Every structure is written in C-alpha cells, then in structure tokens.
C-alpha cells in the first residue's frame, strides 16, 4: 500500500548556487499544493543534526525566486559523515515527523542523503530522500545540467568582458582563474563565450608549449596585442600559469582569480526555470512513492532516477566543445 506523505523537509547543503532559492520555493509551493506540510531545515545536514528548522508556508518563499544564495543557509557537516551524527539527524526527522527530505546540493549532499535513508531503514524508519542537483560546477554525473551553472557562467563572462577592456588598452595578457573544483565545464563554456586565446581544463593534460605559449604566439602573429587565458581551478593556480608565461616568453600577465563572486547574484532565466521544474518534480516523486530519487535533466527534459544508480553515473566531458574553442581561437583574427 502506498504510504501517504504528510510532511517533508527541504534543505540546501554544500556550496551555494544561484537558483537554490527558486528550487526551495518550488518544493514548498508544490508540497502545499499537494496538501503536504513543508519544514525548512537550515544549514544543511548540520542543521538537521542540531534541530535547526523553520516552518515554511506559501508566503515564506515570496520574493525569493530572484535571489542568489540560499534563504535556508548552507553548511558542510563533518559530523553527518559518521553514523552517530546521522542518528542525531534521524532523531530530528522523527521528532518532526518527516516522511521525506528534499536535499538541494551536489554529489556529497546526495551521498549523505542516501546514507541517511539507509540508516533510517536499518532502524525501521521509512524516510525517503530526493536530490536536486545544484552546483555551479555542473559536475554531477547523472544530470546534464545543474542549477547555478548558467548564472555562474554569465557572471564570469561579465567580469572577463570588463577585463578585456583594460587588457586591450594596455595591450596585456590576462590570466583568469574560474571555479569548477575538479571539472572544466565552467572554464570551457566561459572561454568559448569570451573568445579566449586559450582555456586550460583538468580534463585535458596540459602541454604548456602547445596549449599556452603556441596560442599566444599565433595570436601575436595574427596581429593581436592582448591575450585572454582562462584557467579552471582544477588545473592549478592561475598565478603559477602567469609566472610561467612570464618566464618563458617575457610578457608580464595580470592574474585575476574570480573566486566566490561566481557563486552569487540573481539567477538567470535558465536557472530559475530549471530549479522550478526540478523542485516541482522532486515533490511529485515523493508522492509517487518510488524510493530515493535524484531529479536530473537529460537533453533539457527533467527526469527522476534511482538515487543509488544515479550516484554511479559518470559524465563524459564533451571534447567537441574544446574543438570549437581550438578552431575559433586559431583564426587569424581572434576576438581577443
Ligand atoms: O562546488 C562549488 C565550488 O564553488 C567549487 O567550484 C569550489 O572549488 C568550491 O565550491 C569552493 O568551496 P568553498 O565555498 O568551501 O570555498
């Protein structure tokens, strides 16, 4: 017999991403629309352990769809990684009478959710968990897209367009480090979008002569006097890249680390819309009683996948995009 879901929790965990609020809003409003009570857990898993919660009604998410950050706050919890920490979290779930939790975050968030659900089952407690992928890194295996990526790309592009102005005036080389943890998606999208001279990503082994020096040389021979090198943080420090450029060809690059600025700001249409659809599907999946799920996108469609299987999935980095960049940056008159 299907279990009726009466009350759920929603939380955001790990690094924040623009669009998380739109996802929370969608979860809250879809739950209420389906006669399910919704409790906001503040500060992620850490908050679940501490019993840090807030009741969410439809008005509690008014005017949040346009806001960056997360109204529920976020944290990374070491204690939750261990069974005793999860038992404390389960005590909160029981006290609140939660039938399910929607966890918005990245890979670590989902692994924590699955561990919690399994531990609950061992204790005879049916607690279902649903994951919504939100990270600017776009590095979650089971989903083509993660909430926040588009906004972060646009933020980085806006910053680099500004850098381009001053680099052009001074005829300089700019080395810009973008986030992405171990993945190069952000760097590559941004690099293509700003017409970078070179983009360095962790998915491609670095050959400094081929990937940096030769590109700058070609651009110079084509008549350019300023160069934009985009470096994914997973490759290493942009300062080291800048120094190496200086040591090898004598030009004096300026280094910019965009850092956490990429995590903020009002979410773009793509992030608001995707987050809204994912939040809606997360609650609908809970009402369908189909176990632990991750809501992802595949070719623009929102899909829900078995959480255990989804966590085994790997994303193949699309090297065709790198080829696009290579082709465009090797034209005789590159953009930068
Ligand atoms: O996962 C998102 C992300 O912004 C990564 O791109 C980056 O490596 C990391 O989080 C930074 O984490 P923190 O907020 O702990 O500095």
pLDDT digits (tens, 9 = 90+) for 84-102: 999 999 999 999 999 999 9
Query: Are 195 and 324 in the same domain?
Result: yes
**Residue 312 belongs to a domain:** no
Q: Could you tell me which of 208, 189, 187 has the C-alpha nearest to residue 258?
A: 187
Give residue 318's pLDDT band: very low, low, confident or very high (50, 70, 90). confident
What is the enclosing helix (H) or strand (E) of 2?
none
- Indicate the number of domains in the chain: 2
Contacts of 121 (CB under 8 A, 6+ apart): 127
| Whether residues 130 and 181 fall in one domain | no
Q: For residues 234 and 180, is the Cβ–Cβ distance under 8 A?
A: yes
- Distance between CA atoms of residues 163 and 246, nearest Å: 19
Closest CA to 187 of 200, 174, 205: 200
Q: What percent of the chain has pLDDT over 90?
A: 93
Q: What span, in angstroms and rounded, lies between the C-alpha atoms of 274 and 226?
A: 37
Ligand 1 binding pocket includes 15 (Cβ within 6 Å) = yes
Contact yes or no for 140/194 (Cβ under 8 A): no
DSSP strands (E only) in 45-200: 53-56, 100-105, 128-133, 173-178, 198-200
Check whether residue 136 and residue 12 sit in a common domain. yes
Residue 2: which pLDDT band, with cuts at 50, 70 and 90?
low
pLDDT tens-digit map of 161-175 = 999 999 999 999 999
Instruction: Please indicate, yes or no, if residue 305 is contained in any of the structural domains.
Output: no
The closest-lying atom of ligand 1 relative to the alpha carbon of residue 136 is: 2
User: Atom 13 in ligand 1: which residue has the minimum CA distance?
Assistant: 15
- Residues 323 and 188 reside in one and the same domain: yes
Q: What domain range includes position 275?
A: 7-148+267-298
> Mean pLDDT across the stretch 181-205?
97
CB-ligand 1 contact for 177 (6 Å cutoff): no
CA of residue 16 to ligand 1 center, whole Å: 8
Ligand 1 atom 2 nearest Cα: 15
User: Within a domain: residue 181?
Assistant: yes
Residue nearest to atom 1 of ligand 1 (CA): 15
> Is the CB of residue 180 below 6 angstroms from any atom belonging to ligand 1?
yes
User: In the predicted model, is pLDDT for residue 332 greater than 80?
Assistant: no
Percent residues over pLDDT 70 in the chain: 97
With a cut of 80, say whether residue 39 has pLDDT above it. yes
Mean pLDDT, residues 179-202: 97
Asked if 137 is an active-site residue, the reply is: yes
Q: Provide the 10 A C-beta neighbour count for residue 207.
A: 10
pLDDT beyond 90 at 6: yes
- Regarding whether 78 and 156 lie in a shared domain, the answer is no
| Pair 20, 166 in one domain | no
Same domain for 22 and 42 = yes
- Give the residue, out of 12, 13, 15, 186, with the most ligand 1 atoms within 8 A of its beta carbon, to mutate for a pocket test: 15
Residues 41 and 177 in one domain: no
C-beta of 23 in contact with ligand 1 (< 6 A): no
Residue 334, pLDDT > 70, answer no
pLDDT for the residue 218: 94
- Looking at the fold, whether 233 and 131 belong to one and the same domain comes out as no
Q: For the chain, what's the residue count?
A: 336
Is residue 135 within 6 Å of ligand 1 at its C-beta? Answer: yes
Does 107 lie in the same domain as 70? yes
Per-residue model confidence as pLDDT tens digits over 221-263: 999 999 999 999 999 999 999 999 999 999 999 999 999 999 9
State residue 331's pLDDT score: 57
Does the structure show a pLDDT above 80 at 1?
A: no
Residue nearest to atom 9 of ligand 1 (CA): 181
């Amino acid at each position: 017999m299907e279990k009726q879901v009466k009350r759920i929790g929603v939380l955001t965990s790990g690094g924040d991403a623009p669009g998380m609020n739109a996802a929370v809003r969608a979860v809250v409003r879809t739950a209420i629309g389906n006669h399910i009570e919704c409790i906001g857990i503040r500060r992620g898993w850490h908050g679940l352990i501490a019993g840090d919660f807030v009741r969410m009604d439809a008005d509690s998410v008014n005017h949040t769809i346009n806001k960056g950050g997360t109204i529920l706050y976020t944290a990374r919890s070491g204690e939750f990684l261990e069974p005793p920490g999860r038992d404390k979290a389960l005590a909160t779930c029981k006290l609140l009478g939660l039938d399910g939790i929607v966890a918005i975050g990245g890979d670590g968030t989902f692994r924590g959710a699955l561990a919690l659900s399994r531990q609950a089952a061992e204790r005879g407690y049916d607690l279902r968990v649903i994951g919504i992928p939100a990270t600017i890194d776009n590095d979650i295996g089971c989903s083509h897209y993660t909430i926040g990526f588009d906004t972060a790309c646009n933020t980085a592009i806006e910053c680099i367009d500004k850098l381009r102005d001053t680099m052009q005036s001074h005829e300089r080389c700019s080395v810009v480090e973008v986030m992405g943890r171990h993945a190069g998606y952000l760097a590559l999208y941004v690099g293509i979008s700003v017409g970078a001279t070179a983009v360095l990503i962790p998915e491609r082994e670095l050959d400094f002569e081929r990937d940096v020096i030769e590109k700058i040389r070609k651009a110079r021979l084509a008549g350019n006097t300023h160069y934009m090198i985009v470096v994914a943080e997973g490759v290493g420090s942009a300062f080291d890249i800048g120094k190496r450029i200086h040591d090898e060809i004598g030009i004096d690059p300026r280094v910019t680390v965009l850092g956490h600025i990429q995590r903020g700001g009002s979410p773009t249409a793509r992030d608001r819309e995707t987050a809204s659809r994912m939040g809606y599907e997360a609650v609908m999946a809970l009402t369908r009683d189909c176990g632990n799920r991750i809501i992802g996108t595949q070719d623009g469609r929102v899909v829900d996948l078995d959480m255990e299987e989804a966590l085994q999935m790997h994303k193949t980095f699309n090297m065709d995009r790198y080829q696009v960049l290579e082709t465009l940056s090797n034209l005789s008159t590159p953009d930068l």
